[in-house]
Each structure stands twice: as structure tokens, then as C-alpha cells.
Amino acid sequence: MPREFATVTFIGQDQAGVIARVTQLLFQLGANIEALEEQVTRGEFSMTLQASWTRAAFDRDAIQARVRETGLALKMETRVHFTPPGPPRLAILVTREPHVLEGLMAKARRGLGATPVVVIGSRPDLGGIAKKAGLPFIHVPFNDRAEAEKKVLGLLDEHEVNFIVLARFMKILSPSFVWRWKNKIINIHPSLLPAFPGASAYRQAYERGVKVVGVTAHFVTPNLDEGPIIAQEALRVKPQEPLASIVKRGQALETKCTLRAVRAFITKRLDVHWGRVYS
């Protein structure tokens, strides 16, 4: 039987009885709860639910109104994201390195399995690539992270985005942003995590004399470069190979690994339990 799906998020100060109240609300709205994840960090509560409805029980306006009403009563921020029909809709966040974005655009032309709908850049450098692909490019400077993230969240809603790829996006997203898109933000990091997290990963590996380097596609969490690992690719360092050559070969792996992770995500072959991805 065809069903309608939505992701419901509650974020705010931790308090007793929230989970019971929200699950009871969804029961009253005729929903089936497909998945529920909650966490508390430094007194900040976050809960994300995947819910579904039969076509007969589905009332978009009533769902939005009741969730908003409950959020006001709990003094929490709420969000309802309805899953649009068709292939998953992808937002790509970029800074200045083009190779992963170019790989995603090339694969999209041949059949990515998802529809890129917007490219958002913390710098304007890659606007031409997006324009050539027929995609809107929005430059959102991250001088003020809170203001920038607010604008990006609005753009994601406006374009009815289902998931996000950070295509060498060189800004750290806040826990508040990440909670709203839990297990729906894919990042590519240029090392075999958990080794060499943070900036300049290729240089870190080079200076340590590592013989095998690689890249990791992972879900983004509030803890930098510690999210559940989706895919990894590796290469052997050649004797006396200079850093520039390692970086160039690694960038090709970054694109390959990102595409593997996206494919795994959109074919729904991933489950995340206790910080690990199972496929």
C-alpha cells in the first residue's frame, strides 16, 4: 500500500516526558513510527523520528499544525520534512576545491540515482561549475556561522532536499545544524579515519611517513570527523613520492568514495546503530 513519509525533529532544552508526548502525538495523527533517535548533549535535547502514513490518514496541514503546536508547548524548535515523490533530492555544499563537485555532476548526467537540486558555496569560486550543470548556485558566506546556517537551512527546505553531500566543504557545521539532518549529511575526509582527523590530513600522513593513505566517506556528527563510516578507499604511497602527487591521487579517490557512499545511501542499504554503519 502506498505511504507518505516525513521526518519530524524536536530540538530544545531537555525535560521529562518529551518522547512520550511526541510519540503519542504521532499516534493521534495516525502515523507509524519507522525509526526514532534521540540524544542529549550538555542539556540540549534532540529527537528525530521517521514516520509514515497511509494515504487515507495523511493530512499535511494537520501534521504541521499539531507538531508546531506541541513544539510551542514544550518550548522546542520543530521541523517537519515531507519526503517528495521521485528520486532523492540532493544539496551539495562546497568551498573552493572542484573535484568532488565535478565528479557528482558527471555521474548525475549518466544516472546518479539522486537529483542534485542546489549547490551552496561558502565561497563563490565554484558557481561556474554549477551553472554549467544547470543548477542554482547560492553563495552563503560563513563569516557569521549562526546566520549562515540559518540561511542554508532555509534553502534546504525551499528546495525540498532529502540529503546533503559536503563536497570538500571546508566549514564546521554546528551541532544544532547537524541534529536537524542526522545521518543525512555525507562528508568526504582525506584520510583513513580515525587516523589524521581535522585539517591538512594528507600533509599529516606524509609527515608521519605513512605507506598507505586513503579517504573516508562518513556521516557528519557534532564531533568532528568521528561520524559513522560509510566507505573508504586506499592507495599505496610510492617510494620518494612527493606530497603533491599523493594529494592528486587522493583527490581521485575522494570522488570515487563519495559516489560509493551516495549510491549506498540512496539504495537504502545503510543502517546506523551505536555509531556504526551496517549495509
Query: What are the catalytic residues?
Result: 225
Which residues fall within 8 angstroms of residue 61, CB to CB, at 6 or more apart? none
Residue 96 near residue 123 (C-beta atoms within 8 A): yes
| Cis amide prior to 194 (ω within 30 degrees) | yes
Q: What is the 3-state secondary structure (H, E, C) of 71-107?
A: HHHHCCEEEEEECCCCCCEEEEEECCCCHHHHHHHHH
Measured from the Cβ of residue 129, the count of other Cβ atoms closer than 10 Å reads 19
DSSP state of 279: -
Residue 185 near residue 178 (C-beta atoms within 8 A): yes
